[in-house]
Chain A
Amino acid sequence: MNALSELPPVARPPGHRHQPGKDVDSFYHLVGCDLRDRPCDGTACFVAGGGRDAHQPRVYCLGRCFAAPARGLDRARPRIEVHSREPIVLGRLAKGGDGSLASYRSAGGGAALEKALAHEPGEVIGAVEASGLRGRGGAAFPAGRKWAAVAASATPDEKFIVANADEGDPGAYVDRFIMEGDPHALIEGMTLAAYAVGARRGWIYLRHEYPFAKEALDRALAEARAAGLLGDDILGRGFHFDIEVFVGHGSYVCGEETALLRSLAGLRPEPTIRPPYATERGHLGRPTLINNVETLATVPWIVEHGGGAYRALGFAQSRGTKALSLNSLFARPGLYEVEFGMPVRQIVEELGGGLRRGQLKGVIIGGPLAGIIPPHLLDTPLAFEELRAIGAAVGHGGVIAFDETTSIAALVHHVLVFGSYESCGKCTPCRLGSRRLEEIFARPDMPSDEVRELIAALRCASLCGHGTGLGEFADSALRYYGKELEPCWK
């Protein structure tokens, strides 16, 4: 294995000859934008009464939903608790760890890498496969299967690891605090992944809205390099790997993996059809393993304790734990690690302590591109298939409760404003349909046939999850809150 310094620069793949320029920059809305005094336009801030004035550029979620409505950046941490049998992703954070390598190690961090490097890469993949871990970014794809695919893909030169740290779903701030307060978990997870699939370079694609995470990651990466945990000959085992942080320029769709990879390569970040999958042709055309931050931060625990121990946690097809981020309308907002299977009601009423004031009108889990859960469905367990069955989703684990002060038409309008603002414009239903629906939901008399047609086109015909998710959201609003919307129809 060549040392990193001997690796050739990564050749740009076919079709990448065009150098990115102002045309690509014009896609993003936060190029060079200072966020210090920006009001947040995210959904948690909206249901808390914020984000209602028109301003440009818009900022969809600063990751401060626990203190919504938020303005500007703040280093304050939310309440962080572990309610699972084992602390997997929030344990160190809950104990107030400072994110340093020393505190990571004193809490047992780093053992997984020591262990893994003494075993074959295939054994690491085996552990991840056995754990039943599914991607935490929203798609819930079995992580082990993805890892095995990248490991198996034949490649002439290189493979890459990319951490999706574009936690864009308004309402989610799980990854933000993992990166700010426990960055070595992500770094160790990426290093394990690199070892498992045979990669030597990794990127963390970090959203522009998380500058504190950038600081924490830079610090942690320097520490890790100094400690021989990154770079050439990691832990003296002849394995080389290093990580770069890439900061985005403001675009929600960059959280979608094909768009993320194009953004990382300097191309216009539109989602593309799959296949080819990133596992075969990912970053710069090379096989690439992309997982989100929480997924990767989970891996050290799995490697250290074994896939079986992880699989023992959770529920049905949803194994292990999930970190949830509760918004400011709860009595006890904050981050909670729970095992899958916990009823949504328990999350809302016990963990969150119910609403601070007023009557619960609904809960949005996993960001606004999934259906609303009305109060009568709160007994649904938190799990991928089970939430899917009621038109909702686990998503990123953001939990936004809203009360009767939020009208459904206004909430749908808010989500559509977000949706059309963040649409990449590639496919017809999303580019034009989201804007058209946004305009309709701003009116007192809405043409119901057209609304239904537009929702159907968005749900069924959009290219990526952005359009389909907008359709799902609007559809669930009509389904569960039809009575409230009735006076709005023309």
Chain B
Amino acid sequence: MLEVSIDGTRRRFPEGTTILAAARELGIEIPTLCHDERLVPNAACRMCVVEVKGWSRFATACSTQLADGMEIQTASPAVEDARRTMLRLLAAGYPAEAVAAAPEKPFHRLLRSYGADTANDGARPCFTDTQHPYLRVDMAQCIACTRCIRICDEVQGQFVWRAWGRGPETRVLPHGAASLAESECVSCGACADTCPTGAIEDRSVIERGAPETWTRTTCPYCGTGCEMLVGTRRDRIVQVKPVLDAPVSKGHLCVKGRYAFDFVHAPDRATEPMIRESGTWRKVSWPEVVEFVAKRLADIVAKHGADSIGVLGSARGTNEENYLAQKFARVVLGTNNVDCCARVCHAPTAAGMKMTLGTGAATNCFDDIERAATFLICGSNPTENHPIVGARIKQAVLRGAKLIVIDPREIELARYADVHLQLRPGTNVALLNALAHVIIDESLADETALRERVRDFDAFREFVAAWTPERAAAICGVEAAKIREAARLYAQSDAAMCFHGLGTTEHVQGTEGVVCLVNLALLTGNFGRPGTGVNPLRGQNNVQGAAHMGCEPGNLTGFVPIEQGKDVFESVWQAPLPHSRGLNLMEMIDAAGERKLKALWAIGYDVSFTNPNAAVTKAAIEQVDLVIVQDLFFNELAREFGHVFLPACSSFEKDGTFMNSERRVQRVRRAVEPVGQSRADWEIICDVAKAMGHGAQFDFASAEAIWEEVRRVWKAGAGISYARIETHGLQWPCPREDHPGTPILHTESFPIGKTAPLKCIEFHATTEVANEEFPFLLTTGRTLYQFNAGTMTMRTANAQLRGTDTLDIAPADAQRMALRDGQRVRVRSRHGAAVLPVRADSRLKQGELFATFHATDVSLNQLTGPHRDTHVQTPEYKVVAVTLDKI
């Protein structure tokens, strides 16, 4: 500890504390302009100068660390004079109207408090950009603090803003572009967030006014779990800003979290309950619709049995709501037919990791990104789909970490990679086996780990002996030398961290692909330590939570198998658990096709639009007698097959918790009142349960009351109370109130014992192979600007940044087929056809295609096939053989 005196107050501070941080701790405000906690101190604006006794010049508080015995004056007359002088210099030539328009900007407040008047000595020509949908740039207000440049470099890693010229003529402009739209900008808004003037500003604030109220909550998009401040004005969201001390996002957001909020008050938001009668939708009251649903469900249970009904929880809903959805299915209806969209994304992860490690969730935490020496990214495109994780990985790589990317496309991270294994879609298992082969062949395995924590090594060694890189190279279309290089990088690193996405799971060998990743981690001792592990990047805000809360036919809350949890749940629920094996989502669709599924309650899940093999899916759902759609919008499922519509509200309109990819439970809070008559999912479920005679078991006054019950049934979450996660979430296992949570799993042992098994996974080629009739392999995925079914993002200005799906094709293929960008083509697979515009994209190999699946008018799932993962039936979205017809 160091003892210093600041403005006469003596206090002790830990080593490494800056003068600025120490002063703030004492409640002494030192003015700053170029400082931002997220950035390396730059000490350029010089506003934070202070006097240190014995120093001949002033010290900058932002960059100067305390030394023992320092005597600091933060506001001596000389210091205040210097600040005033500098502010006058900055004020000369600064537009007075900008100060008047936004008096609370940090720079404008400083001008006021130091009495520095703007002199506006003739406007100079400055860069402006008024065309961007979210950002407005007016460099007449630039004071050259370079925060925009540095946050783009140091946090996002996009390098968009650059300083040009020097001295008094220094100007800040987007790199190599006349506007932001033409630049590499990803519209994360970090520059606008840090800008202390109005030079870069959110358009929403200019057009709708500054927020009056701020509410801290968790982002409703991907599974990263970024925390955001929602700014509202007259009960409308006008701005979203990142939470600076958020454990995951650390003061950063992406274009979706930061800007794509206008869906909440979209003009076509469906806010009234409706019932379809003889083909026509009729608006009804809540009591009427609840009564209707309760009666119809009761009738169907009576007539066809509870197992003729399926319930789908929602990855968009809270933990509390998903908990209630599965409790409703099991307690009120009496069926285990409950699932959620984890089925179509990371069910293979949960199954594969549970099978091998004992826990079906990320082994490590996002804070390990900064501790990893090497990254292995397999079938995941983090900079577009988990942009904050992507940015953190990119920064770590820029700081010197090694990077291996396994992806058919040259995704953005591949440009930063030491090795990019650009494999043929559908060949993960062959490639991962070859990596294991090299690790063993070159004696790179971790002997200690093999001795103490891993079993079945001999059989595994024998099995992978046949998986030479040359053999895999022929299957995967990757050079054998690169496989060797990647294996060495991964195995020889002090700490190698694996992230995987749906490019690993959405295959017929999805679960087995995950197991192969676990094999690599086990072989090399990359588990149970900081900066290691196998870590799924979950696609949606609460897909981890939805399944974990029990929207899973075979598992109860906490991913506890039904038999194992029976006693606890029956005693808490005061009800018997159903006995029959539940149907998962895919089986429900199959059952519907066989006319065995009579009712489907889909909460926040457009299963008609998002399931693969659309023709078969739709034909099946059409057979269902009662389709209850609970959503924000009148989605495709409602439009085509719905019988009842229950208007739900978004996460901005309710309280609860989400669980992110790294097992962290975080708070969701109401920022605006529910729109129209919409209600929270949990309220709707409780009302229907009450109407069906289960009032006592669904008597909850708040989301927190539900959570309290969750804690009673879920041992690993028992220590997580709302009070404890007021500002920072907690990572389970967290069994007691005094437990700090568990950032890293498997440090000493696995839930299945001291050791985990290596599994021999034979490679099975997909039946989706290219041939003369279907010469291309198509793989699918998201883009940065759109999210899944497009329900939310398509209703925001993100649609201006990326408005529709495209069929991305290697430029050489496009040229060979004489296809221009934007030209619409019919894509045909063995299962159907879709029409969409072509976009030449050099990130693709010849013979391979990539398409997004966000647009309802394209409906890409007309192409995807019936093939499913052999363990958990997750569809094979990631590879389908197609041909192109010009139209």
Q: Which of B407-441 contact A (CB under 8 A)?
A: 416
Closest to A425 in B: B170
Indicate if B45 sits at the interface (CB-CB under 8 A). Answer: yes
A432 CA / B145 CA spacing, docked (Å): 13
Closest to A471 in B: B57
In the complex, which of the residues B41, B44, B81, B89 contacts A426, with contact meaning CB atoms closer than 8 Å? B44
Indicate if B164 sits at the interface (CB-CB under 8 A). Answer: yes
Interface string of B148-192 (1 = CB under 8 A from A): 000001100101001111111110010110000000000000000
Asked if B167 contacts A421 (CB within 8 A), the reply is: yes
Q: CB-CB < 8 A to B175: which residues of A?
A: 21, 23
In the complex, which of the residues A18, A429, A431, A461 contacts B170, with contact meaning CB atoms closer than 8 Å? A431
Indicate if B78 sits at the interface (CB-CB under 8 A). Answer: yes
Q: Which of B751-771 contact A (CB under 8 A)?
A: none
In the complex, which of the residues B81, B86, B176, B398 contacts A14, with contact meaning CB atoms closer than 8 Å? B398
Indicate if A54 sits at the interface (CB-CB under 8 A). Answer: no
Indicate if A482 sits at the interface (CB-CB under 8 A). Answer: no
Closest to B401 in A: A14
In the complex, which of the residues B82, B90, B170 contacts A460, with contact meaning CB atoms closer than 8 Å? B82
Closest to A26 in B: B164
Asked if B46 contacts A429 (CB within 8 A), the reply is: yes
Indicate if A273 sits at the interface (CB-CB under 8 A). Answer: yes
- Chain A: interface size category: 35 or more
Asked if B46 contacts A23 (CB within 8 A), the reply is: no
Asked if A428 contacts B46 (CB within 8 A), the reply is: yes
Closest to A25 in B: B164
Asked if B169 contacts A425 (CB within 8 A), the reply is: yes
Indicate if B325 sits at the interface (CB-CB under 8 A). Answer: no
Indicate if B799 sits at the interface (CB-CB under 8 A). Answer: no
A461-B166 contact, Cβ under 8 Å, with A427-B45, A431-B144, A453-B81: no
Q: Which of A3-22 contact B (CB under 8 A)?
A: 11, 13-15, 17-18, 21-22
Q: Size of chain B's interface in residues, with CB distance under 8 A?
A: 45
Chain B nearest CB, measured from A356 CB (Å): 35
A423 CA / B167 CA spacing, docked (Å): 5
Asked if B400 contacts A463 (CB within 8 A), the reply is: no
Q: Which of A436-464 contact B (CB under 8 A)?
A: 436, 453-454, 456-457, 459-463
Q: CB-CB < 8 A to A23: which residues of B?
A: 162-164, 173, 175
| Most chain A beta-carbon contacts within 10 A, residue among B33, B49, B166 | B166
A456-B41 contact, Cβ under 8 Å, with A26-B165, A425-B169, A461-B58: no
A161 CA / B263 CA spacing, docked (Å): 59
CB within 8 Å: A-B pair count = 124
| Most chain A beta-carbon contacts within 10 A, residue among B78, B146, B167 | B167
Chain B nearest CB, measured from A434 CB (Å): 8
Q: CB-CB < 8 A to B143: which residues of A?
A: 428
Chain B nearest CB, measured from A455 CB (Å): 10
Asked if B78 contacts A429 (CB within 8 A), the reply is: no
Closest to A275 in B: B65
Q: Which of B225-264 contact A (CB under 8 A)?
A: none
Q: CB-CB < 8 A to B84: which residues of A?
A: 453
Q: CB-CB < 8 A to B85: which residues of A?
A: 429, 433, 453-454, 456-457
Chain A nearest CB, measured from B65 CB (Å): 9
Asked if B176 contacts A431 (CB within 8 A), the reply is: no
Interface string of B8-48 (1 = CB under 8 A from A): 00000000000000000000000001000000011111110
Indicate if A422 sits at the interface (CB-CB under 8 A). Answer: yes
Indicate if A318 sits at the interface (CB-CB under 8 A). Answer: no
Indicate if B60 sits at the interface (CB-CB under 8 A). Answer: yes
Interface string of A227-258 (1 = CB under 8 A from B): 00000000000000000000000010000000
Asked if B165 contacts A27 (CB within 8 A), the reply is: yes
A14 CA / B394 CA spacing, docked (Å): 10
Q: Which of B54-91 contact A (CB under 8 A)?
A: 57-58, 60, 63, 78, 81-82, 84-86, 89-90
Indicate if B816 sits at the interface (CB-CB under 8 A). Answer: no
Asked if B49 contacts A432 (CB within 8 A), the reply is: no
A116 CA / B720 CA spacing, docked (Å): 67
Indicate if B399 sits at the interface (CB-CB under 8 A). Answer: yes
Asked if A18 contacts B159 (CB within 8 A), the reply is: yes
Closest to B145 in A: A428
Closest to B169 in A: A425
Asked if A428 contacts B44 (CB within 8 A), the reply is: yes
Indicate if A298 sits at the interface (CB-CB under 8 A). Answer: no
A428-B47 contact, Cβ under 8 Å, with A14-B398, A423-B168: yes
Q: CB-CB < 8 A to A428: which residues of B?
A: 33, 44-47, 86, 89-90, 143-144
Q: CB-CB < 8 A to A461: which residues of B?
A: 46, 49, 57-58, 82, 86
Asked if B400 contacts A420 (CB within 8 A), the reply is: no
Indicate if A468 sits at the interface (CB-CB under 8 A). Answer: yes
Asked if B46 contacts A427 (CB within 8 A), the reply is: yes
A344 CA / B47 CA spacing, docked (Å): 39
A468 CA / B33 CA spacing, docked (Å): 20
Closest to A269 in B: B166
A238 CA / B90 CA spacing, docked (Å): 58
A420 CA / B43 CA spacing, docked (Å): 19
Asked if B153 contacts A18 (CB within 8 A), the reply is: yes
A428 CA / B400 CA spacing, docked (Å): 33
Q: Which of A311-326 contact B (CB under 8 A)?
A: none
Chain B residues with a Cβ under 8 A of chain A: 33, 41-47, 49, 57-58, 60, 63, 78, 81-82, 84-86, 89-90, 92, 143-144, 146, 153-154, 157, 159, 162-170, 173, 175-176, 398-400, 416
15 contacts across the A-B interface (CB closer than 8 A):
A14-B398, A14-B400, A17-B159, A26-B166, A27-B166, A273-B41, A423-B166, A427-B43, A427-B44, A428-B44, A436-B89, A456-B78, A457-B82, A459-B57, A462-B46
- Minimum-distance CB pairs A-B, first 5: A425-B170, A432-B89, A14-B399, A423-B167, A23-B162
